Chain A
Amino acid sequence: MNAPTPPSSKTPATLRHEDPMTIRFEGPSPEVRISKDLARRGLYVAPAVVGIAALIWGVSGAVSALFALGLVIVNFAGSAALISLAAKISLGMVLGATMFGYLIRLAVIFAAVWIVADAPWISIPALGATIIVSHLGLLMWELRYVALSLAHSGLRADNPITPIS
């Protein structure tokens, strides 16, 4: 009986190890949990944002602020959905989806604003200010509830808002 032959030293490494670019991640994605939490916090602050815009710019400002807040929340949700879907396919797809996603989301925001820009109920300064303030404000607020540890990726376990699974 012959002894088992040892693996050949000429075998390429790619045949013995999984290609990193084909690694995929199943299961719950932290981006979706964070974007849902961002959307929930956006809905919490929406009355205050709309009220402040109404005080400064009137009715058109209030409607524009609501529209801008919706755009920001949809932008976060779209980004998270793209990364989450791509991660279920491969790491290479994450790279591509993120870069093209950035272009597509900018184009969607541009198109959404372009369509309503000449509407009588829109106030461009209110729209612009709300986009910047709500985007950065929601992100800064969310940072308090994000866990940067290996044990709890995504949201912290002691998050006061119960995360949606």
Chain B
Amino acid sequence: MEALTQLVMQASEFSADEAKSISAAASAGLAYGLAAIGPGIGIGFLVGKSVEAMARQPEAAGLVRTTMFLGIAFTEALALIGFVVFILLKFA
């Protein structure tokens, strides 16, 4: 964070406060973006395997869809934690 602030100050004519707010916004965006990648991969993997299971055994689709829905919701919690970190950095 401190290094990013100094980098922004060196690269432009911004004041210290402006550079700090710019680096805070950049860090928040980076945190949110990185936090969304992992759950995205996880949900893709989860849904891909669930679709494969439903295609193989359509009679078990209800069970697979139940576990898939809960799995998606739990995985999405990771993205929401990243989002909360983002809003705390950006707005609080």
Contact = CB atoms under 8 A, between A and B. Distances in A.
Contacts of B56: 20
A22 to B, nearest CB: 10
Interface stretch (B10-18, B19-27, B79-87): B79-87
A59 to B, nearest CB: 18
Given A139-B74, A148-B63, A30 B69 contact: yes
B88 A125 contact: yes
Contact of B54 (A35, A91, A124, A149): A91
B73 A30 contact: no
A131 interface: yes
A73 to B, nearest CB: 12
A76 interface: yes
Interface stretch (A1-9, A47-55, A94-102): A94-102
B74 A149 contact: no
Contacts of A94: 47, 50-51, 54
B83 A79 contact: no
A94, A129, A143: residue with the most chain B Cβ atoms closer than 10 Å: A94
B83 A21 contact: no
Give chain A's interface residue range (CB within 8 Å of chain B).
Answer: 35 or more
Binding site secondary structure of chain B: helix
Given A102-B76, A150-B59, A79 B54 contact: no
Interface residues of B, number: 39
A139 B67 CA distance: 12
Given A30-B62, A153-B63, A132 B48 contact: no
A117 interface: yes
A47 B80 CA distance: 23
Contacts of B69: 30-31, 34-35, 79-80, 83
A44 interface: no
B7 interface: no
Leading 10 A-B pairs by shortest Cβ distance: A153-B62, A20-B55, A128-B84, A124-B92, A31-B69, A98-B47, A30-B66, A117-B91, A124-B91, A153-B63
8 contacts: A79-B72, A94-B54, A102-B40, A109-B80, A132-B81, A153-B62, A153-B65, A153-B66
